[in-house]
Amino acid sequence: MENDSDWQRRSDDWVNASHKSRLRKEKMWEDNKTKGDVQKDKVVNGVLIKK
């Protein structure tokens, strides 16, 4: 039987990893949102069309 501290450390690693990936997803989502806001202003034939 493995001791509790090994299990605890593994579980902490897993929590940290899943937290990091969630932060990364949220960051990507934020970036996409601002990108989407920027793309609302279309450039047509080099002329910026404000929506």
Amino acid 42: pLDDT: 67
Whether the CB-CB separation of 41 and 51 falls below 8 Å is answered with yes
What pLDDT is recorded for position 28?
A: 84
Judge contact between 30 and 38, C-beta under 8 A: no
Contact 49, 42 (CB under 8 A): yes
Residue 23 confidence (pLDDT): 87
pLDDT computed for residue 7 by the predictor: 80
How many Å apart are CA 3 and CA 10, to the nearest integer? 12
Return the pLDDT at 36: 63
Number of structural domains found in the chain? 1
pLDDT tens, the chain, 51 aa long: 567 788 888 888 888 888 888 888 888 888 777 776 666 666 667 676 666
Q: Which residues span the domain enclosing 29?
A: 4-49
Could you tell me which of 27, 49, 25, 16 has the C-alpha nearest to residue 8?
16
